[in-house]
Structure 1
Amino acid sequence: MKRSVEYYLSHLRQDLSAGIVVFLVALPLCLGVALASGAPLYSGVIAGLVGGLIVSWASGSQLSVSGPAAGLTVLVFNAIESLGSFSGFLFSLMIAGGIQILFGFLKAGVIAAFFPASVINGMLAAIGLILIIKQIPHATGYDTSIEGDESYMLETAESSFFELSEALQGITPGVTLVSVVALLILIIWDSGLVKRIKGLKMIPGPLIAVLWGIAYNYWALRYLPAWAIGEKHMVSLPEYSNAAAFLDQFSLPDFSHLNNPKLYNVAVTLAIIASLETLLSIEAVDKLDPHKRITPTNRELKAQGLGNVLSGLLGGLPITAVIVRSSANINAGGQTRFACFFHGLLLLISVLFFTHFLKTIPLACLATILLYTGFKLTKPQLYIQFYRKGWNQFLPFVITVLAILLTDLLQGITIGMVSGFFFVLRANFKTSITLTQHGSHYLLRFHKDASFLNKALLRKYLQDIPDDSEILIDGYKAHFIDDDILETLSNFLLAAPDRNINVELQDINGLLPSEAADV
């Protein structure tokens, strides 16, 4: 325990500054996701509190941030409508959490190991593009919705790009000025020059960007009202006069739905989709982790299940590990789980005591932080890197990016996985068997296990061998050769004498039928 405390203390400064950034990003998103879900506004904040204060310590990840996920908003909206009440939905959420805990004990987290790197990186790049597309309207003062900020399901690509074009035509001067300067601050703060100055290095750039936005608007309201930022472009929060008013926002689940079959259908669906989103986010966070730590996925499922049981009990929305806030955490320099915990603590303190101050923060500052995070996720260098790896890596990467942009996160990942497996099979098809020629001498070599998928290629190679040749068939590197492959080889061996082809077998003779091996 002592070592653990020392470990967290050694990274306390970075985690505190990162926690502030994650808090600033998470607060409006918690409210926006609740709004989009058709749930009480405060349910998003409750989910954020549970994710930050509880799940951060139950999870095995040091950098992931858990909270209400925009990817579940449509499901939540339909579930509330289907069950007839939000309190009935809360009961289904508790059951979904229990199912996730069961998934963890059944070691279902192993599915995360089957996501190809090209698909995970494609997901990150797509999320980066989505962040840029979604945040430009906030950065220019064309705010139509908060809930779209990290959504993959609510809006189509067509509507998103339409909103983007509208945003570029409906620029608000004051908001745009705040965004441009905030972006310059983030770029400068991330440069080598600032990092070499010890005093400046200790101050997080996103915090400076937020303070700039607040200071500018105070000045503009007093001296240049035409360029001031209006209330609709500021962070919006409910205010509570005392702790009792705060506690009144907590809702209890309605256990009278116990005999409602729709309840269990919703619960199972929630558990599966929330678990998949969590596993995808965890895989992505582990790739972004500068220390390359590996999250135990089964423990993560248990932690998310615990979070959803508590969130349902207290009146909150479903919780998953969320890549947008996790990326903001990593980008801000977060090192341990304390950054996520601190963001949850700030959420609690802010809604209790500082709602009036938080309302002075322009949404443009938060949009700029997410814009910069999005750029880091989808840097041009990433595309160049995968292009240099070859088409087997580059095409699944690009297909995943386009599929997510044109559909949603889960559908896009599914399309990306299918394309990834196709190129794996294609690569295996081409490299497992090779045929080389030297004059009239041929070498057919099995480089790895051969299955029925390689039968067409093997037939082609054997048909290409001309009459009056010599061939060595080498199976030394193959630990397994499928019966379909052996049958194809047997047929070739039986027909070889008629074509005056001399065949020599190496480390494969014992696998063939006796009549073929004796030829």
Structure 2
Amino acid sequence: MFGTRASAFLKLSKRDLKYDLPASIVVFLVALPLCLGIAMASGAPLFAGLLTGIIGGIVVASFSGSQLSVSGPAAGLTVIVLGAIQDLGAYETFLMAVVLAGVVQVVLGIIKAGMIGNYFPSSVIIGMLAAIGIIIILKQLPHAVGYDAAYFGEESFLQQNQENTFSALQNALGAINYGATIICLISLAILILWPKFKKLKLIPAPLVVVILAVGLSRAFEGTSLALNADHLVVIPVVQSFGEFLGLFTFPDFTQILNQDVWIAAFTIAIIASLETLLSLEAVDKIDPFKRVSPTNRELFAQGIGNTTSGLLGGIPMTSVIVRSSANVNAGGRTRQSAILHGIWLLLAVVTIPQIINLIPLACLAAILLHTGYKLANPASFKGMWHKGLDQFIPFIVTILAVVFTDLLTGVGVGLLVAMFYILKNNLTNAFEYDIDENEDGAKITFTLAEEVTFLNKAAIQKALYGLPKRINEIVIDGSHSRFIDKDVIEVIKDFEQNAVTKGKSIELVGIVNKKNVPNIKRFTQSILKNDALKKKTIKQTTSETIEK
């Protein structure tokens, strides 16, 4: 059911190609060093990272229903992958875990586990986007000045090289390469100014940036501005088709019953699925057409992708917000942009690895800095502030938590804070009341909300027993409520007895009938069943009377 359009990548849309083709080049340029950096940090072969990016583009995007999401190796999985490879003892055994993780994700898609993605509050998702933007800026600044101690694409606050985000910035100030800095500044200027010229917009600004950066890098050779060797992209260079085939590694199927392999598989599947759902929700937020991606289909697509990656020697993948946001900012319209970026990665490895290895990281850092600013635009902070503290505080907390920990931990903290405000609002919105003053005292009418749960019990109890003494007539109206929790009904009934003993007039409207009717559908079915039973009884009685 999910794969009916699996071959759609062979049929490109001419209408959207003029947008998707330039965007795919931008995503390719961003994804290339990220694939390599994440593979290196994960303790996997460099080719494994590129292979995962290729599969994430061509395979996952073909099965996915998301138009703008781009998949590939994710920085959030590096620690898990590195630990799994070391614990399982062999890379081939680890690949078996990746294959099984993909199968688990396919099952999650089939059983519709993607619905979890619908329960992330908007304030947390927007906060996550802003946090990713800030992280991109903070993490790319060292690469922008030629300090490449951390791998390209690292996102966690505590880095694998024993530094953290801020200490890396401090150390970068003492190790500035002026050649890299010049390349980055010129690249940023082009990225900002190039789109303002209508005639030049046909050529993607990032492509111009890369070509110019390669030229400057070559021109700086032999001078004080020369770049360090480790400041250039490095992908495997293959001399023949046979050598290319030799880059692939295959899983050890004899380990399929290994308990540790299954533990690693479930761990990868759950974390990769959560990251994917978060990324998908975030991409939908920045989609200019406000399309809604089918989450269950995405889990299915990710499962197919991870199974394929494991079978060929790749590492686990997710939908990645950095690549996806670069796709949106570059003007991508449909999933063919992601598919094309996968094709460019494949062609780069096979045909022009020597040319790709001339690209300085400084110009790629500039592309990401530009993307990061758009994600963490000051306007988003201003917009959230105007929505009120119940939206702004979870937004800010999510940003801080993501920046100072990692994506999943930060979002988890943001969710807890958002849930606090959701519960708080739920408690205060259980009812509304209206007071009519009269000569003998006052009449109050409580109108209960559409849904009254046990969470509202305390607020309702406090409001009822805290009524002023002058109120001598009370009406509690539950006729508009679809559901009233039994605990709340018990509180109301107890209060009714209490009010009667004090000589007050009290009327319950639509409360008693709700006691055993938590669901309107069930209530309707009960009425229909009773009506059918009555008709059957009447018919039976009539027949018996006629016979007599």
The amino acid across from 1:27 in the alignment is L
Q: CA deviation at 1:248?
A: 0.7
The amino acid across from 1:256 in the alignment is T
Task: Mark the structure with the bigger radius of gyration.
Answer: 2
CA deviation profile, 1:138-159 (whole Å, cap 9, x unmatched): 0111111224434578569971
Greater mean alpha carbon deviation, residues 467-476 or residues 76-85:
467-476
Match of 1:311 among 306, 309, 312: 309
1:434 is matched with which residue? Answer: 432
CA deviation profile, 1:160-203 (whole Å, cap 9, x unmatched): 1111222234322221121112112212234xx42xx2x21212
Q: CA deviation at 1:438?
A: 4.7
The amino acid across from 2:308 in the alignment is L
2:237 is matched with which residue? Answer: 239
Q: CA deviation at 1:499?
A: 3.7
1:501 is aligned to 2:504: yes
1:516 is matched with which residue? Answer: none
Match of 2:63 among 58, 81, 89: 58
Q: CA deviation at 1:221?
A: 3.0
Greater mean alpha carbon deviation, residues 126-135 or residues 449-458:
449-458
2:527 is matched with which residue? Answer: none
Q: CA deviation at 1:85?
A: 0.3
Whole-angstrom CA distance in 1 between matches of 2:261 and 2:8? 45
1:215-254 equivalence runs, <5 A: 215-221=215-221, 225-254=223-252
Structure 1 pair 6/47, CA: closer, same or farther in 2 (3 Å)? Answer: closer
Secondary structure of residue in 1 paired with 2:488: helix
Q: CA deviation at 1:229?
A: 2.5
2:421 is matched with which residue? Answer: 423
The amino acid across from 2:506 in the alignment is V
1:379 is matched with which residue? Answer: 377
1:210 is matched with which residue? Answer: 210
Whole-angstrom CA distance in 1 between matches of 2:456 and 2:257? 53
1:443 is matched with which residue? Answer: 445
CA deviation profile, 1:482-501 (whole Å, cap 9, x unmatched): 12212222222212244443
Are the aligned partners of 1:448 and 1:479 in contact in 2 as well (CA < 8 Å)? yes
Identity of aligned residues (%): 46
Are the aligned partners of 1:107 and 1:298 in contact in 2 as well (CA < 8 Å)? yes
Match of 2:171 among 149, 166, 169: 166
Whole-angstrom CA distance in 1 between matches of 2:21 and 2:167? 38
Q: CA deviation at 1:308?
A: 1.0
Whole-angstrom CA distance in 1 between matches of 2:432 and 2:382? 30
Whole-angstrom CA distance in 1 between matches of 2:194 and 2:447? 56
Secondary structure of residue in 2 paired with 1:416: helix
Match of 2:48 among 43, 46, 70: 43
Secondary structure of residue in 2 paired with 1:471: strand
1:492 is matched with which residue? Answer: 495
2:318 is matched with which residue? Answer: 320
Are the aligned partners of 2:158 and 2:165 in contact in 1 as well (CA < 8 Å)? no
CA deviation profile, 1:196-216 (whole Å, cap 9, x unmatched): x2x212121222222221232
Match of 1:141 among 143, 146, 151: 146
CA deviation profile, 1:50-104 (whole Å, cap 9, x unmatched): 1112112111111111111111111111111111100100111111111111111
Match of 1:272 among 270, 273, 279: 270
Whole-angstrom CA distance in 2 between matches of 1:491 and 1:285? 50
1:517 is matched with which residue? Answer: none
Secondary structure of residue in 1 paired with 2:224: helix
Whole-angstrom CA distance in 2 between matches of 1:231 and 1:115? 43
1:27 is aligned to 2:25: no
CA deviation profile, 1:384-435 (whole Å, cap 9, x unmatched): 1111111221122122112212221112222222222221111111112234
1:300 is matched with which residue? Answer: 298
2:521 is matched with which residue? Answer: none
Secondary structure of residue in 2 paired with 1:295: coil
Are the aligned partners of 2:109 and 2:299 in contact in 1 as well (CA < 8 Å)? yes
1:475 is matched with which residue? Answer: 478
1:364 is aligned to 2:362: yes
Are the aligned partners of 1:446 and 1:475 in contact in 2 as well (CA < 8 Å)? yes
After TM superposition, the score normalised by the length of structure 2 is 0.87
The amino acid across from 1:459 in the alignment is Q
Structure 1 pair 144/159, CA: closer, same or farther in 2 (3 Å)? Answer: same
Whole-angstrom CA distance in 2 between matches of 1:36 and 1:141? 19
2:81 is matched with which residue? Answer: 76
The amino acid across from 1:475 in the alignment is G
Question: How large is the RMSD of aligned CA atoms in angstroms?
Answer: 2.3
Whole-angstrom CA distance in 2 between matches of 1:305 and 1:482? 40
Q: CA deviation at 1:460?
A: 1.9
Secondary structure of residue in 2 paired with 1:226: coil
Are the aligned partners of 2:448 and 2:481 in contact in 1 as well (CA < 8 Å)? yes
1:329 is matched with which residue? Answer: 327
2:523 is matched with which residue? Answer: none
Secondary structure of residue in 2 paired with 1:290: coil
Whole-angstrom CA distance in 1 between matches of 2:16 and 2:9? 11
Structure 1 pair 91/153, CA: closer, same or farther in 2 (3 Å)? Answer: farther
CA deviation profile, 1:89-127 (whole Å, cap 9, x unmatched): 011111111111111111111111111111111111111
Greater mean alpha carbon deviation, residues 361-370 or residues 347-356:
347-356
Q: CA deviation at 1:288?
A: 1.5
1:114 is aligned to 2:119: yes
1:463 is matched with which residue? Answer: 465
The amino acid across from 1:289 in the alignment is D
Whole-angstrom CA distance in 1 between matches of 2:64 and 2:378? 33
Whole-angstrom CA distance in 1 between matches of 2:284 and 2:153? 25
1:279-290 equivalence runs, <5 A: 279-290=277-288
Greater mean alpha carbon deviation, residues 147-156 or residues 72-81:
147-156
1:8 is aligned to 2:13: yes
CA deviation profile, 1:18-56 (whole Å, cap 9, x unmatched): 111111111111111111111112111111111112112
Q: CA deviation at 1:341?
A: 1.4
Whole-angstrom CA distance in 1 between matches of 2:98 and 2:514? 55
Secondary structure of residue in 2 paired with 1:259: coil
CA deviation profile, 1:199-243 (whole Å, cap 9, x unmatched): 212121222222221232233337xx1123232222122211122
Structure 1 pair 228/339, CA: closer, same or farther in 2 (3 Å)? Answer: same
Q: CA deviation at 1:322?
A: 0.9
Q: CA deviation at 1:441?
A: 3.4
